[in-house]
């Protein structure tokens, strides 16, 4: 279909508008982070007046952003891996098996999405504080306290369940006749076929864990275990800290999310559109 | 090669019984076809034999060993699916070698077996391709290769040709028959296509509503269908089934049709005078005469289908519809008056109430 000149112009204007809306704030943050002088609150900088890496250097060496970045990365990567694995296994059971109480299990998983984080904050805090029988230790102030609560995520389970439902039954039957065990069917047949969905679930999961603020706040109180969002908050309220340094840490904090998205972009996109058209 | 015995098997899904007390015996090396319309339970029986469904009652024996409670992998079977069921992320070679890999066979041995089977099925050039890069016929051959490479006791085919076009179906059908001749592996083949059943089966099991209607050799089913259902299911074009009443006059038995015309039947049929029957006339057992002849049923041609090798003519008269099939080409047009003369020795009679075949007199 050919476009008229006015249609082309309208399209360009629309794209430019969307670009400004979505990328404008990020551009402003970048410009501020690389700007030598402190930018007054409320002022938007579009280009650094004097380019510098000083704020990044300070954020990295003095504010020890690398410690928090490491914590966030460790929690987000291990958390995402475990969350995707657990979600995939739960989804496999929900999508491919028939068992008594299946509806109740689905509802129980769904119900976890209905409660706001704040509602479960205190019970979760108490649970993390509680001593584990036999071992006589609590999870509080450990990486486990940051990872284990995010391993089960209903959104990821339901996303993967829908994809796994679409895998033809004949493939599972063929694998069973070929001699595959339940685990082998899951590993060799189902998982490779829902790879796009796994990518999508992993991206959403990573971002969800990366952005966690309340959980790290209640799960740890040792500063060396803080994750980036908690540190950003503490920097924000620190009146001595220059806003450029705070913004430099913000930039550092966004890099892993962007990298993860770029790495899984293809699977993410096909995961979002898979099943939209008849194959 | 292993015999397959299905003994009094039943299957229920919740409160719905779908298979009722079915017993089937397939001899070692035999090619058995399960045929029936949709919902007749043929695929369910195959899945019960494969172990993909659990039997509610009865038992399955393969190679003399009861396997009813065993999972598919312990039954020494291989299955070819209607949808091919090839693993899309694996190459042809990986698909064919998957079962062997799971069985822990060394890689070199797997490669050898896959290559040998690929050669047998003319798939050697395609081993590195993914299923999406194959045609329908090639995919079906890979699916068969995956079954053959394991050298199982029994092959199970679940409507393997349904997704192929007519020409390819005939070709692959021939390949399956040829493979069975060479491998002589016991095979159970599910189809709803009676041409496939007649062409491939050494034994055919006709199913309806989860029950066995008749078991026999293809020509036995064709020549002596046990009931109206089997008669209607076996044969293309379908048999003509006409309601009538028996008239016995001086030892000659005639069936009087609704239009008042009569058809003489074999005297040996055990029928009583005035008994209502269903008369079965196969289209290919009707001979066409000109309207001027005095013999046969006088009808009017309503449609002519000429396939080149065959001619199928539909004829009608008040309350009477017949289809006739001929090998010879004739100049026939719709509206033309004709006479159809049945081959009296090949007329089938069924009791109208029970729909069962009327046997010959025991003394005949």
pLDDT tens by residue, A111-155: 888 888 888 899 999 999 999 888 889 999 999 999 999 999 999
- In chain A, the residue whose alpha carbon lies closest to the alpha carbon of B148 is A178
Per-residue buried b or exposed e for A151-189, using 16+ beta carbons within 10 Å of the residue's own CB: bebbbbbbbbbebbeebeebbbbbbbbbbbeeebbbebb
- In chain A, the residue whose alpha carbon lies closest to the alpha carbon of B158 is A170
Q: How far apart are CA B54 and CA B68, in angstroms?
A: 8
pLDDT tens by residue, A55-106: 888 888 888 888 999 999 999 999 999 999 999 999 999 999 988 999 999 9
- In chain B, the residue whose alpha carbon lies closest to the alpha carbon of A178 is B99
Residues 6+ apart with CB under 8 A from A151: A79, A82, A83, A86
Task: Decide the pairing of beta strands B154-158 and B186-191.
Answer: parallel
CB-CB neighbors (< 8 A) of A189 in chain B = 87
- In chain B, the residue whose alpha carbon lies closest to the alpha carbon of A179 is B73
Helix A154-165 vs helix A65-96: crossing angle, to nearest 10? 40
Which B residues, 141 through 170, put their C-beta within 8 Å of a C-beta on chain A?
A: 146, 150
What does the pLDDT read at residue A272? 52
- In chain B, the residue whose alpha carbon lies closest to the alpha carbon of A194 is B89
Q: Please give chain B's pLDDT, 364 residues, in tens.
A: 789 999 999 999 988 999 999 999 999 999 999 999 999 999 999 999 999 999 999 999 999 999 999 999 999 999 999 999 999 999 999 999 999 999 999 999 999 999 999 998 889 999 999 999 998 889 989 999 999 999 999 999 999 988 888 888 888 898 899 989 988 999 999 999 988 999 999 999 999 999 999 999 999 999 999 999 999 999 889 999 999 999 988 878 899 988 888 888 888 888 888 899 999 999 999 988 876 667 778 889 999 998 888 899 999 987 789 999 988 888 888 898 888 888 888 899 999 999 999 988 765 5
Q: How far apart are CA B44 and CA B41, in angstroms?
A: 5
Residues shown for chain A: 279
A270 touching B, CB under 8 A? no
pLDDT for A275 beyond 70 = no
At A92, list the tokens: 């496999």
Which of A178, A97, A35 minimizes the C-alpha distance to B95? Answer: A178
A182 touching B, CB under 8 A? no
Residue A1 banded pLDDT, cuts 50, 70, 90: low
B228 sits in which H/E element = helix B228-233
B102 touching A, CB under 8 A? yes
A44/B88: higher pLDDT:
B88
What does the pLDDT read at residue A270? 63
A170 touching B, CB under 8 A? yes
Phi first, then psi: what are they for B157, rounded to 5°?
A: -115, 120
- In chain B, the residue whose alpha carbon lies closest to the alpha carbon of A170 is B85
pLDDT tens by residue, A190-235: 999 998 899 889 999 999 999 999 999 999 999 899 999 888 888 8
What does the pLDDT read at residue A128? 93
**Please, what is the Cα angle at A17 between A11 and A19, to 5 degrees?**
100
Which B residues, 48 through 87, put their C-beta within 8 Å of a C-beta on chain A?
A: 50-52, 71-73, 77-79, 81-83, 85-87
pLDDT tens by residue, A20-31: 998 888 888 888
Point out the residue among B52, B86, B98 whose CB comes nearest to the CB of A173.
Answer: B52
* Residue from A178, A183, A196, A274 to probe the interface with B (highest B Cβ count within 10 Å): A178
What does the pLDDT read at residue A279? 35
pLDDT tens by residue, A155-183: 999 999 999 999 999 999 999 999 999 99
A235 touching B, CB under 8 A? no
Q: How far apart are CA B102 and CA A105, in angstroms?
A: 32
Contact A170 B82 (CB under 8 A): yes
* Residue from A179, A188, A196 to probe the interface with B (highest B Cβ count within 10 Å): A179
Residue A226, classified by CB atoms within 10 Å of its CB into exposed (0-12), middle (13-18) or buried (19+), is buried
CB-CB neighbors (< 8 A) of A173 in chain B = 47, 50, 52, 79, 81, 85
CB-CB neighbors (< 8 A) of B83 in chain A = 168, 170
CB-CB neighbors (< 8 A) of B79 in chain A = 173-174, 177
Contact B103 A173 (CB under 8 A): no
Residues 6+ apart with CB under 8 A from B263: B244, B254, B255, B257, B279, B281, B297, B342, B344, B347
* Residue from B14, B102, B152, B156 to probe the interface with A (highest A Cβ count within 10 Å): B102
CB-CB neighbors (< 8 A) of A171 in chain B = 85, 87
Helix A195-210 vs helix A143-151: crossing angle, to nearest 10? 140
What does the pLDDT read at residue A274? 47
Q: Interface pTM (ipTM) of the complex? A: 0.84
A10 sits in which H/E element = helix A5-33
Tell me if B280 sits within 8 A of B358, measured CB to CB: no
A41 touching B, CB under 8 A? no
* Residue from B13, B43, B52 to probe the interface with A (highest A Cβ count within 10 Å): B52
Which A residues, 184 through 213, put their C-beta within 8 Å of a C-beta on chain B?
A: 184, 188-189, 192-193
**Beta-carbon pairs below 8 A across chains A and B:** 56
Point out the residue among A170, A184, A188 whose CB comes nearest to the CB of B81.
Answer: A170
A24 touching B, CB under 8 A? no
């Amino acid at each position: 279909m050919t476009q008229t000149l006015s249609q082309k112009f309208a399209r360009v204007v629309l794209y430019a508008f969307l670009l400004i809306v979505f990328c404008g704030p990020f551009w402003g943050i970048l410009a501020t982070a690389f700007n030598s002088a402190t930018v007054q609150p409320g002022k938007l900088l579009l280009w650094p007046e004097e380019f510098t890496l000083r704020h990044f250097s300070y954020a990295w060496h003095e504010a020890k952003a690398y410690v928090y970045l490491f914590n966030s990365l460790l929690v987000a990567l291990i958390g995402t891996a475990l969350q995707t694995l657990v979600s995939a296994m739960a989804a496999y059971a929900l999508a491919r098996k028939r068992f008594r109480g299946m509806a109740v299990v689905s509802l129980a998983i769904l119900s976890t999405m209905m409660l706001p984080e704040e509602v479960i904050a205190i019970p979760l805090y108490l649970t993390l504080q509680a001593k584990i029988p036999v071992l006589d230790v609590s999870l509080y102030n450990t990486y486990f306290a940051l990872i284990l609560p995010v391993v089960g995520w209903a959104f990821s389970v339901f996303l993967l369940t829908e994809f796994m439902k679409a895998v033809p039954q004949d493939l599972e039957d063929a694998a069973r006749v070929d001699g595959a065990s339940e685990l082998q069917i899951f590993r060799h047949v189902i998982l490779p076929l829902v790879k796009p969905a796994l990518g999508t679930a992993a991206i959403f999961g990573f971002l969800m864990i990366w952005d966690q603020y309340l959980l790290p706040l209640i799960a740890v109180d040792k500063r060396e275990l803080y994750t980036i969002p908690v540190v950003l908050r503490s920097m924000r309220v620190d009146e001595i800290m220059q806003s450029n340094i705070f913004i430099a840490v913000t930039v550092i904090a966004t890099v892993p999310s962007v990298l993860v998205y770029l790495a899984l972009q293809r699977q993410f996109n096909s995961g979002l559109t898979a099943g939209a058209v008849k194959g | 090669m292993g015999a397959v015995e299905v003994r009094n098997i039943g299957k229920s899904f919740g409160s719905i019984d779908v298979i009722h007390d079915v017993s089937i015996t397939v001899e070692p090396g035999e090619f058995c076809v399960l045929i029936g319309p949709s919902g007749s339970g043929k695929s369910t029986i195959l899945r019960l034999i494969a172990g993909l469904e659990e039997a509610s009652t009865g038992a399955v024996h393969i190679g003399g060993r009861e396997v009813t409670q065993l999972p598919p992998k312990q039954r020494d079977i291989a299955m070819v699916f209607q949808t091919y069921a090839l693993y899309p992320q694996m190459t042809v070679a990986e698909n064919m070698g998957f079962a062997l890999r799971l069985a822990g066979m060394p890689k070199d041995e797997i490669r050898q077996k896959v290559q040998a089977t690929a050669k047998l099925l003319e798939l050697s050039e395609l081993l590195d391709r993914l299923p999406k890069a194959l045609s329908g016929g090639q995919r079906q051959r890979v699916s068969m290769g995956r079954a053959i490479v394991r050298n199982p006791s029994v092959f199970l085919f679940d409507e393997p040709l349904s997704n192929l076009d007519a020409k390819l179906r005939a070709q692959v059908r021939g390949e399956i028959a040829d493979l069975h001749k060479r491998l002589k592996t016991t095979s159970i083949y599910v189809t709803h296509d009676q041409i496939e059943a007649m062409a491939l089966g050494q034994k055919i099991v006709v199913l309806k509503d989860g029950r066995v209607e008749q078991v026999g050799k293809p020509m036995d089913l064709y020549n002596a269908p046990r009931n109206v259902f089997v008669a209607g299911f076996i044969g293309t074009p379908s048999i003509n089934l006409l309601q009538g009443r028996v008239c016995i006059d001086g030892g000659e038995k005639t069936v009087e049709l609704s239009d008042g015309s009569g058809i003489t039947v074999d005297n040996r049929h055990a029928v009583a005078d005035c008994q209502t029957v269903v008369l079965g006339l196969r289209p290919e057992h009707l001979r066409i005469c000109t309207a001027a002849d005095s013999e046969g049923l006088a009808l009017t041609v309503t449609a002519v289908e000429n396939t080149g090798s065959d001619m199928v003519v539909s004829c009608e008269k008040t309350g009477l519809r017949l289809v006739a099939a001929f090998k010879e080409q004739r100049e026939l047009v719709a509206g033309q008056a004709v006479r159809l003369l049945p081959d009296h020795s090949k007329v089938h009679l069924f009791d109208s109430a029970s729909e069962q075949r009327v046997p010959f007199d025991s003394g005949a």
